[in-house]
Amino acid sequence: MLSIFAALSELEREQTLQRQREGIAIAKSQGKYKGRQPLPIDWIKFGQLYEQWKSGAITAVWFQKEMGLRANTFYRRLREYESIHK
């Protein structure tokens, strides 16, 4: 009995995901779906903190908190900054 409910639930979830994919594809074709906008970054402040971080004066965690970034965003922005300024 439980396996039947599990199978129905899985089928319903697959159908929901399929309808969602179709809806996103339609919205993209109409130009309405653009995804999440990137957070604006104060690159001047980032550059100042970057120099402090590189010299060992501050930690990466403090740097992240000061900029208001999560770890994954912080390291992505770090790669961007280093590719531009190196």
Does 79 lie in the same domain as 48?
yes
* pLDDT for res 69: 93
Does 58 lie in the same domain as 24?
no
Structural domain that includes position 80: 43-85
Q: What is the pTM of this model?
A: 0.60
More confident call, 51 vs 34: 51
Other CB atoms within 10 A of residue 46 CB: 20
Of 25-29, 32-36, 44-48, 54-58, least confident by mean pLDDT is: 32-36
Give the helix ranges, DSSP H, for the chain.
2-29, 43-55, 60-67, 71-85
Does 51 lie in the same domain as 26?
no
Length of the chain: 86
